[in-house]
Amino acid sequence: MLASFDLTGRRALVTGASRGIGQAIAVALAEAGADVAITARDEGSLVHTADRIRAHGRKAHAFELDVRDIASIGPVANAAADAMGGLDILVNNAGYEEVRPSLDVDEMLWDRIVETNLKGAFFVAQAAARIMTESASGGSIINLCSLTTYVGIPTAVPYGSSKSGLLGMTHALSAEWAQAGIRVNAIAPGYFRTAMTDVFYENAAWQESMLEKIPQKRFGTMEDLGGVVVFLASAASAYITGACIPVDGGFLASI
């Protein structure tokens, strides 16, 4: 049974992998045996992630990519696949958030969030699928949804809208690409402290209030994410597509 989780010989692409959740996912895939191509808006910021991947004896390839630059997505995906000899796994992790009251949201902020989290994710998935369809073995695409996919969070309307759309995209692509052997799933991380969410954790009262709502009574750690991503990337989840798995300590189940 354990062999079905083994990613040896598989080739993965992880966007937004310079830190936090993206870095943890890239390293987890390497630990499971995959070679990993990683992207970020600043290629230099990927050095630490690449070092951690190579520490597990796997190959790492770093590329500069802003997923809002649609024209650059295809060439970067193709370059990653060429460097690794193919592409089997995509993790659509690149994201952006800025907390702002809804009455203060302007078009520029809305576009930046939605173009990064939803539009960019679609075109990265499209580029990956074009490569995967050339392989008889298909592939696995994993999108990063959020608790805001399911729950309304004040001051996070553009973000929640983009992440709700990402779930709809996951459902539609899973149905369309299944016959090509491409599975499309998602995970919805709960409360994890990252550079993007740090503004919340600076508030001790907020932390206390949120911990009361999480049945496991703790916030997530980066180690909590690796297993579910490896599962969805591997043959262990061969008959799962169109699903979104919350990784949230029971938060959604308890509300």
Residues with catalytic annotation? 159
Q: Among candidates 16, 129, 122, which has minimal Cα distance to 62?
A: 16
Describe the crossing of helices 223-233 and 20-31 by its angle, rounded to 10 degrees: 60
Describe the crossing of helices 157-177 and 120-132 by its angle, rounded to 10 degrees: 20
| 3-state SS assignment for residue 39 | strand
- Return the amino acid letter for 47: V
Q: What is the DSSP letter of 221?
A: -
Q: Which residues are CB-contacts of 162 (< 8 A; sequence separation ≥ 6)?
A: 113, 114, 116, 117, 118
